[in-house]
Structure 1
Amino acid sequence: MSDLVLRAREWLAQDPDPETRAELEAVLALDDETELASRFGSRLEFGTAGLRGELGAGPARMNRVTVMRAAAGLARVLGPGRHVVIGYDARRNSDVFARDTAAVLTGAGLRAFVMDGRWPTPVLAFAVRHLGADAGVMVTASHNPPRDNGYKVYWGDGAQIVPPVDGEISRAIDAVGRVDELPLGDSWDTLTHEAIVTPYLRALAALPVGDARDVRVAYTPLHGVGADTLAEAFLSAGFAVPEMVAAQRDPDPDFPTVAFPNPEEPGAMDLALELAGTIGADIVLANDPDADRCATGLRLPDGGYRMLTGDELGSLLAEHILRNTSGDDRLVATTIVSSSLLGKIAAAHGVRYAETLTGFKWIMKAGPGLIFGYEEALGYSVGSDAGLPVHDKDGIGAALTVAGLAAAARREGRTLLDLLDDQARRYGLHATGQLSVRVEDLSLIGRAMARLREEPPAKLGGREVESAEDLGAGLSGLPPTDGLRYRLAGGARVVVRPSGTEPKLKCYLEVVVPVTGPASGDVTRARAAAAADLAAVKADLSAALGV
């Protein structure tokens, strides 16, 4: 009997889930060594603040055994008597994983609070600080495909965990024995809507939304859990509830109308854009399935629509928040792969600016006085003079703030596109793009990174590479990370890194084009020039990757 078969049989003996037991018994009956190796040749590792992976039996999958082991590891790091808040979304088994977590934690002598509804991730992040908990767990795979689920861990500051805590939990998980021998409790507390969603909505009321309310919005939650909370947030702030894509309004773990439930993916926004055209919406808003991200589209002068990039919306929100808050100690932050424009905006407003590694877990550690943080992947944490209501990205708060910004522009006979043009004239046109390569063989990513380290490109898109920096060395006080940054002539920049959550090699491109005059035609020409520059850089980089 092979070692893989032995491990599979040991797993079967402790698995409390009849569905995954039946699944694994079928694999064993087929004597499929390849399939066994994919499930038992490794285990899910803590990555972006927790676990994320395909549902199924085995330590390399998301299942009840994996979740109970994670909860036991978390319990060992925290210790008895600590308080943990647990939330979950509408993916398959999210509610089951939440209850299993509560059972393991209370069995280990901790106190658990479990939300009684499928609510957005930012509600969980808010709840940790609001309730004075020591940690939080959100069961979600965010915008991953339907086959996945995940387990995101927050610490007492309401932000996602970072090293060394994630390593401590990972080592504690390794020390957990059989889950059928874990003591389990059943006396956790239940958090109602009134206990946690209502305070969250009150906290959002402090955001600098302004007093304009005349704006027509088309919205989609992409089959996730954002619709009800967003509708309440808009009503509480005095806005009309947005028109919603009916086919995508209700939570559905199969995500039947989209190939990937991520507003950045091609086709994901088609139904929302169609609705916008039908109702003549001023803006289009979308949340990803757990509603911690926010995508925004705007109406063009010809009546069509286009989606804003994460960097475009980040620059608009940053300037709006800085104009509507005060204080010399304010800090704005973004990541090394986001646009450099935020630094110029911060300088113009006389506030501090910080760059972090990718991921909101790092943005939230940027420093005291943080009033706004964003990442180019549609994540935004918006604040007010009272600070940040949520110490993580918040797609509901961001959507509310965008609606206020669009309503204020409309009152002046302007649009978000006009505001973008204003910024291009003030700071130069900062255009960003991505080259993303999805692979089946993860070794291809390692080989591509090694090739770039050994033979860095001399030119990209016709621009000289002025410097090549290895982020693995921990540059500018940042923790070491697997990535490369190239600075090109004319203020352009390229960052290459492996994705932390998907089998992808991700490349982030930026070019800066001066705008020479006040006329709209000057901005239009600058956008065309920037698009051509980005295409040229992308083509050369693609060749250099060799993937």
Structure 2
Amino acid sequence: MQLLARAKQWAQADPDPATKEELLRLIEAAQAGDKDAKGQLKDAFSGPLQFGTAGLRGALGPGESRMNEAVVVRATAGLMSWLNSKVATPRVVIGCDARYGSAQLASAAAEVVSAAGGEALKLAPAQPTPITAFAVRKLGADAGIMVTASHNPARDNGYKVYLGGRIATGPAQGVQIISPADAQIAEAIVAAKPANQVPRSRQGIVAVDVAEEYLRAVVAPSPQQDLKIVLTPMHGVGGPLCRKALQRAGFADVTLVAAQADPDPDFPTVAFPNPEEVGALDLAFETATQVGADLVIAVDPDADRCAVAIPAGQGFKQLSGEETGALLGNAVAAQGGSGTLATSIVSSRLLGEIARANGLDFVQTLTGFKWIARTPNLLYGYEEAIGHCPAPALVRDKDGIAAAVAIAKLAAKQKKAGNTLQDALDELARRFGLYQTAPLTFRVDSLPEIERAMERLRQNPPTALAGAAISKIEDLSNGTDTLPPANVLVLQTEANDRVVIRPSGTEPKLKCYLEVVLPAGDEVPYLAAKQRLERVRAEVSAACGL
């Protein structure tokens, strides 16, 4: 079918008057010879938005390739078709953040769930993602829908799915979908009727509020703590709940970054609403300097990730996800007992050393919390991209709010002993060696370039890195005893340095994760580690040939 015919057919079935009108204007302009309008139509109909383990994510706008009401209605129809084939009267929790369109899309999803014979449990608008993940487990829901694009740019929105209740069992309860569920749901979405023919009903939608239950479950009331905190929710939905959680944990001295405290879908004070981006915490650092803060905490716009910064010299130093992960993992391990610490294959191996030293099990999974959170007997899990799961019995996903409380408690404990979080990191280095990591990313014009680079590395891998011979090469394309197949190469040297190389799952990028390990004495060799990382980076760049 030709582009204009497809666009007209979609417009006819679009249940949202706003996107329908926008699409009809584009069609009219394209028919009149407007090249820009025709280009926009091509983008909007460049193939259906693909449903995968991360659900759906894309730019807002009309058309099959964008996030909009029509796409969400058909996605929910497909999800309900799949759920109805598994269980009677599926119970589904629906939540959303404060992005453009989120409340509208969540309401549409709830109406489809209700009309399809499901029990639609709808959270109030503008809630953190961990609340939806918590509600799936707490309410025994068979599935959860969260309308969010997390820390993506303002133009985007998304739709992620959790499974639980009678659909998922054991450690998979309340975890994001994986194969084969994603492909089966995707097939059901393809088979769904046009959006204006999908039944919808507002009858039977039940409003639920679990925020207070979440707070009581995740945070034990504590005496007042001596710690001055600056908190930014990055124009997202995490501010009120994160502040309440910190106050419940005894942290009364919490200053919100005023310009970023309230939800604003334009994210006006940051180039990208991602705490990892350079400059994203500048306002938080300014506020922290003004009030003399001991700790800076940033949760991303849907509050599932948490970034941390500490005083350093005349300013503040942002900890990496690896550093925060090691600190929190060590704190959990020190509590004793049995269980498992988990992280992904691209994250630092330091957590494994911490687990072994404390008699705990350690598991490495493929990247993403959909894998980490499935770990049986999980005590704590993290990934390098500032995602932490400190309360897996309650939230089987990244939880920036629970992580904020956990790191604040650790900082207060260190301060009471006359120490800092940097002192705690130095002590870990002296005990286990200094594990330092860095990313290396190549953006390319086409996916075949990535495959050619991976094939070059498989056929002609480097024989040494930073002067140390390569001692081990793992190709995970056929899987291992503990990991499913993945397009990943792991290089390890005789000096115990490691490089993990994999294509991005969402963008035309080749990602390399570099790690060097140096022994540490009284002086922790941060400069030497940085220099070695730079040398490894240069040699891996040459080997990739990009």
Q: Calculate the TM-score normalised by the size of structure 2.
A: 0.93
Question: CA 1:453–1:180 in 2, change beyond 3 Å: closer, same or farther?
Answer: same
Give yes or no for the alignment of 1:147 onto 2:147: no
Question: CA 1:212–1:394 in 2, change beyond 3 Å: closer, same or farther?
Answer: same
Shift of 1:504: 3.3
Percent identical pairs in the alignment equals 50
| Residue pair 1:355, 1:366 contacting (<8 A) in 2 also | no
**CA separation in 2, counterparts of 1:504 and 1:91?**
27
**CA separation in 2, counterparts of 1:212 and 1:486?**
48
Q: Which residues of 2 match residues 192-341 of structure 1 at below 5 A?
A: 192=208, 195-206=209-220, 213-300=225-312, 302-324=313-335, 326-328=336-338, 330-341=339-350
Whichever residue aligns with residue 267 of structure 1, its letter is G
**CA separation in 2, counterparts of 1:501 and 1:396?**
26
Question: CA 1:503–1:197 in 2, change beyond 3 Å: closer, same or farther?
Answer: farther
Shift of 1:299: 1.1
Give the structure 2 partner of residue 180 of structure 1. 196
Matched residue of 1:45: which SS? coil
How many residues align structurally? 529
**CA separation in 1, counterparts of 2:292 and 2:424?**
20
Shift of 1:305: 1.3
Q: Calculate the TM-score normalised by the size of structure 1.
A: 0.93
Give yes or no for the alignment of 1:348 onto 2:348: no
Q: Which residues of 2 match residues 67-466 of structure 1 at below 5 A?
A: 67-79=72-84, 80-156=88-164, 157-192=173-208, 195-206=209-220, 213-300=225-312, 302-324=313-335, 326-328=336-338, 330-367=339-376, 369-383=377-391, 388-439=393-444, 441-466=446-471
**CA separation in 2, counterparts of 1:429 and 1:487?**
16
Question: CA 1:37–1:71 in 2, change beyond 3 Å: closer, same or farther?
Answer: same
Match for 2:499 among 494, 500, 510? Answer: 494
**CA separation in 2, counterparts of 1:291 and 1:456?**
40
Q: Which range is displaced more, 468-477 or 408-417?
A: 468-477
Question: CA 1:455–1:22 in 2, change beyond 3 Å: closer, same or farther?
Answer: farther
**CA separation in 1, counterparts of 2:145 and 2:539?**
42
Shift of 1:8: 1.3
Instruction: Encode CA deviations 1:271-317: one digit per residue, 9 max, x unaligned.
Output: 111211221111111001100000001112x2421111111110100
Shift of 1:259: 1.1
Structure 1: runs of 5 or more not aligned: none
| Residue pair 1:14, 1:180 contacting (<8 A) in 2 also | yes
Give the structure 2 partner of residue 530 of structure 1. 529
Shift of 1:539: 1.7
Matched residue of 1:170: which SS? helix
Matched residue of 1:477: which SS? coil
**CA separation in 1, counterparts of 2:242 and 2:316?**
22
Matched residue of 2:381: which SS? strand
Shift of 1:475: 2.6
Question: CA 1:17–1:512 in 2, change beyond 3 Å: closer, same or farther?
Answer: same
Shift of 1:496: 1.7
Shift of 1:441: 4.1
Structure 2: runs of 5 or more not aligned: 165-172
| Residue pair 1:331, 1:372 contacting (<8 A) in 2 also | yes
Matched residue of 2:516: which SS? strand
Question: CA 1:483–1:410 in 2, change beyond 3 Å: closer, same or farther?
Answer: same
Instruction: Encode CA deviations 1:99-127: one digit per residue, 9 max, x unaligned.
Output: 11011111111110111231100011000
Give the structure 1 partner of residue 44 of structure 2. 39
Instruction: Encode CA deviations 1:441-489: one digit per residue, 9 max, x unaligned.
Output: 4444344334333432333334333333222221342111222221123
Provide the aligned C-alpha RMSD in A. 1.8
| Residue pair 1:381, 1:388 contacting (<8 A) in 2 also | no
Matched residue of 2:175: which SS? coil
Question: CA 1:212–1:536 in 2, change beyond 3 Å: closer, same or farther?
Answer: farther
Shift of 1:503: 4.4
**CA separation in 2, counterparts of 1:88 and 1:9?**
30
Question: CA 1:426–1:122 in 2, change beyond 3 Å: closer, same or farther?
Answer: same
